[in-house]
Amino acid sequence: MPIKETGTEADGSSAEMARLAARLTGIQTSYVKLTRHRVGLLCLLAGLIVLSLLLDFSLGPAGLGPKALMHALLNPSSGTNAVIVWHIRLPYALMAALVGIALGISGGEMQTVLDNPLASPYTLGVSAAAAFGASLAIVLHWHIPYVPDNWMVPLDAFVFAVGSAGLLELVARARGHSTAMVVLFGIALVFTFHAFVALMQFIADEDALQDLVFWTMGSLTRADWGKISVMSLGCLLVLPFCFRAAPALTALRLGEDRAASYGVDTRRLRMMSLLRISILSALAVSFVGTIGFVGLVAPHIARRLLGEDHRFYLPGAALCGGLIMSLASIAAKNILPGVVIPVGIVTSLVGIPFFLTVVLKKGA
Amino acid sequence: MDECPTDQLEVEKFSVHYGRRQVLHDMTLAPMRAGRVTALLGPNGSGKSTFMRGIAGLTRAEGSVRLAGQDLAKLGVGERARLAAYLPQSLPPAVHLQVIEAVMVARRAGEAVSAEMALRESTDVLEELGIGHLALRYMDELSGGQRQMVGLAQALVRRPAMLLLDEPLSALDLRYQFAVMDVVRRETRKRNIVTLLVVHDLNIALQRAHDVVYMRDGQLVAQGAVMAVTTPEVLGKVYGVQTRLEVCPRGLPHVLVDGIFEESA
């Protein structure tokens, strides 16, 4: 240890050296323990998602027993039960977790990049923009040649969601990355797009109105294997980049100038991060509709559980998001017997107790 | 002191514009030597922070900045960051990170350092600054003074050749003000680095810095060893105040302010 050779009162005394060495070992052990604890927590969260997926898969209005489920699962073309399992249960359950993961990690990155604990795809207008895009497809029956009808709504929603995220980015750049301005602009986007959606509702005919309202509630019933493939491909492509940026994002959390003085290119970091956020959150909302709360709250839970080292915080936000959505999907099917409530309605109901226990717990 | 004469910071024709407004005007300074603490003094809005950010490479500037003969403008962002550690004016934020983690982040950002090595070096720096006992506490549990010490640890753990501290004392109580200044002085000498800091308290600057740079309106007013350039004339020119310089029985200089001059310009 090259320290303490400066002539302060401490050195020379071997007792002092021993004390310092002991402290060093103490810190190292505790750091290793902390890291292990965090990895353990991440594994636990992942395990809970698997459990929740299983539960989501086995519960439902059809009331299938484990034997019937297994049989249908192994024989994809064996009648009604197989249809229920392969076209309803599995896609819904998987979509719930995937959407939760995408929203959780987008919210997590957004809160860091915009340095605002209220940032999320929902609160800054990405969801509202997606809803407006969807409303154009639903009410005005927009068609693009060669695009199948059931992809028209998500496609429109996606284009508008990415567009709104792009606008946020433009404003961020034009205003010299003043984060408060970006947040205000995002809130303005929310109101603007809500007004547009209301306008579309006003001019919509009865059927379209019903479709549109249902869309804005957020529902997993639109999930199918094609959309799940796109969604998981999106996650697989984007998540590695999120994790690679984690150390730089941790530095950014300590302040823009501080990160820059550590050699982090903060402009580039921010731009790439907003790009990832827009892809993930736009994919999520375009397939299942407006889902609030998850993107806002999952990061807060992750922060409390895992701290703000983004190597743990980002995966944590993703997993918390996935878990909340998966639990919400279970609740959506089982609160009212025989009815599947739109999942967007129950996410907050499911998430709030979770949120309150973790965030309000002192000294967590 | 007999450090190598090239171990110094040379600033020539240094200008910074914000849009059309020129904030720093062609500042040329005498070389600032390693191992000495230079305090940057001047009224609010005189361009001290801009000067620091410009030297650190966080603000676009014209002119030449050379450290140990090396032109900083020619270096990449990462290399420049390795040479110059900059401590921003604001305190490190109260994030939910352990102190040791926060210091490790600073050590590892932009440089491939193993976790083990970063952990060891970070612990060493915390011990050096006398805050080893805080290593496992969370940043959001610390006082402002303690967080500023962590900020200093974050800067020092990067082993910079130059330390740029923007008002490191502004949020601190009296004890921490002197604690920070003593640490800065000690580390500057031990590591033989160039240290520039902005302070508002003239008396601390006079007692703890070796050299001073007086600025006003983006221009250099005076530069040199503390006692050589700090005179009532210079202080009047820089701050617009009427002062007396008294030396206390222990030989330490004190500035007493008797009044202010009417603003003429």
pLDDT digits over B171-183, tens only?
Answer: 788 888 888 899 8
How many structural domains are present in chain A?
1
**Domain assignment of residue A302, yes or no:** yes
Q: Does B98 touch chain A (CB under 8 A)?
A: yes
Q: Where are the domains of chain B?
A: 8-260
Structure tokens at B28: 């040329």
Chain A residue numbers touching B90 (CB-CB < 8 A): 255, 257
Backbone Cα Rg of chain B: 19
Query: What gap in Å lies between CA A160 and CA A139, rounded to an integer?
Result: 15
pTM reported for the whole predicted model: 0.85
Torsion sign (Cα): B255, B261, B264, B265 = positive
CB-nearest partner of A28 from B86, B110, B119: B119
Chain-chain contact of A261 with B190 (C-beta, under 8 angstroms):
no
* pLDDT beyond 50 at A80: yes
pLDDT computed for residue A5 by the predictor: 37
Question: How confident is residue A12, by pLDDT bands cut at 50, 70 and 90?
Answer: low
> Would residue A11 count as lying in a domain?
no
- The residue among B59, B80, B87, B97 with the most chain A CBs within 10 A of its CB, best to mutate, is B97
Q: Is residue A32 part of a domain?
A: no
In angstroms, the CA B92 to CA B146 distance is 10
Instruction: Give the CA count within 13 Å in the CB-facing half-sphere of A279.
Output: 17
Residue B4 has a pLDDT of 47
Q: Which of A3, A33, A39, A254 to mutate to test the interface with B (most CBs of B within 10 A)?
A: A254
In the structure, what pLDDT confidence band is assigned to residue A175 with cuts at 50, 70 and 90?
Answer: low
Residues 6+ apart with CB under 8 A from A216: A131, A134, A197, A289, A290, A344
Residue A156 or A364, more confident = A156
ipTM of the complex: 0.84
Count CB neighbours of A107 within 10 A: 32
Q: Is residue A28 part of a domain?
A: no
CATH topology of domain B8-260: Rossmann fold (3.40.50)
Residue A17, classified by CB atoms within 10 Å of its CB into exposed (0-12), middle (13-18) or buried (19+), is middle
Give the model's confidence band at B264: pLDDT under 50 very low, under 70 low, under 90 confident, else very high. low
Mean per-residue pLDDT, B73-79: 84
Across A187-215, average pLDDT: 90
| Closest C-alpha among A103, A115, A109 to residue A286 | A103
Q: Is A4 close to B127, i.e. CB distance below 8 A?
A: yes
Question: What mean pLDDT do residues B58-78 have?
Answer: 86
> Looking at residue A312, which CATH number applies to its domain?
1.10.3470.10
pLDDT at B163 over 60: yes
Residues 49-88 of B with CB under 8 A from A: 53, 56, 58, 77-82, 84-88
User: Smallest Cα–Cα separation from B98: which of A261, A110, A115, A35?
Assistant: A35
Which residue in B96, B119, B133 is closest to A31 by CB distance?
B119
Range of the domain at A355: 44-359
* Side-chain-facing half-sphere of A78: CA atoms under 13 Å: 12
Angle at B113 between CA B109 and CA B115, to 5 degrees: 95
Report the first-to-last Cα separation within chain B, whole angstroms: 42
> Is the CB of residue A29 less than 8 Å away from at least one CB of chain B?
no
Amino acid at B74: K
